[in-house]
């Protein structure tokens, strides 16, 4: 049903409409957006309790702990990417709208990154402080987490779309995403560790940026294909 209506609105405008809708909805349910952040903070503070309160030891594991925490929280946040829209039929409307689905999926994932990734980045200094990381390292690490949550949102979008409507989709989603998230974890944690030790982390951050560019351009295509498969 690709009538005259579809050609009036450009894909860019449609994408912006979708993004603003997602942001408005997230603002209304701002409490829900905080769940992954709370999880992140709890996970990162569990490690000092489990290991030792000694600063030097905490600092040596801080990069890894913060990144694993961010990864797990992102997985948690991914469950909300499509669920509400699938339940109330919005997702079908999006697919049937006649706009290029990949562009709309990019918009949706971008909004999801803004809603779930930014609060994580904001919470990172708290976790880092708890793990005895010097304040000079905060900036590079937060940038890394920002880039990394972006990659995870876009990769996760593919997984979320593939598991749409399956039973126990959340467990399956983790199993699907984790192998593909490992490069992000490896490079991100390495960059963060360099920052903790006061060494320049630029190389790792550039790699993360490259991964982000790669996923932003390719992942929406796969997400759109997956949504079509699961809805048809």
Does 179 interact with other proteins (rule: CB under 8 A)?
yes
Binding mask 126-165 for other proteins (x = CB under 8 A): --------------------------------x---xx--
Nearer to other proteins, 31 or 179 (CB): 179
Exactly one of 16, 96, 182, 206 binds other proteins (CB under 8 A); which one?
Answer: 182
Distance in angstroms between the alpha carbons of the first and the last residue of the chain: 15
Angle at 42 between CA 40 and CA 47, to 5 degrees: 100
DSSP string computed for 134-172:
-GGGHHHHHHHHHHHHHHHHHHHHHHHHHTTT-TTHHHH
Does 180 interact with other proteins (rule: CB under 8 A)?
yes
Does 206 interact with other proteins (rule: CB under 8 A)?
no
Nearer to other proteins, 23 or 210 (CB): 210
Q: Are 177 and 159 in contact (CB under 8 A)?
A: yes
Nearer to other proteins, 6 or 231 (CB): 231
Q: Are 142 and 171 in contact (CB under 8 A)?
A: no
Q: Which residue has the tokens 């779930």?
A: 116
Stretch binding other proteins (CB under 8 A), from 28-36, 117-125, 128-136, 179-187: 179-187
Angle at 188 between CA 44 and CA 176, to 5 degrees: 80
Binding interface with other proteins (CB under 8 A): 158, 162-163, 166-169, 172, 175-176, 178-180, 182-183, 186-187, 190, 211, 218, 222, 225-226, 229-230
């Amino acid at each position: 049903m690709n009538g005259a209506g579809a050609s009036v609105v450009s894909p860019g405008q449609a994408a912006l409409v979708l993004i603003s809708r997602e942001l408005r909805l997230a603002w209304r349910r701002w409490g829900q957006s905080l769940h992954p952040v709370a999880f992140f903070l709890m996970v990162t503070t569990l490690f000092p309790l489990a290991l030792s309160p000694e600063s030097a030891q905490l600092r040596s594991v801080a990069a890894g702990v913060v990144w694993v925490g961010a990864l797990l929280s992102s997985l948690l946040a991914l469950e909300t990417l499509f669920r509400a829209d699938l339940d109330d039929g919005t997702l079908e409307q999006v697919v049937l709208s006649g706009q290029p689905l990949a562009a709309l999926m990019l918009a949706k994932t971008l909004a999801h990154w803004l809603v779930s990734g930014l609060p994580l980045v904001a919470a990172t200094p708290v976790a880092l402080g708890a793990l005895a990381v010097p304040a000079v390292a905060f900036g590079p690490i937060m940038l890394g987490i920002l880039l990394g949550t972006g990659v995870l949102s876009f990769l996760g979008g593919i997984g979320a779309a593939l598991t749409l409507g399956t039973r126990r989709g959340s467990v399956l989603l983790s199993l699907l995403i984790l192998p593909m998230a490992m490069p992000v974890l490896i490079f991100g944690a390495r960059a963060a560790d360099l920052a903790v030790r006061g060494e320049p982390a630029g190389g790792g951050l550039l790699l993360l940026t490259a991964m982000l560019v790669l996923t932003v351009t390719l992942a929406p295509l796969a997400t759109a294909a997956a949504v079509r498969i699961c809805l048809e």
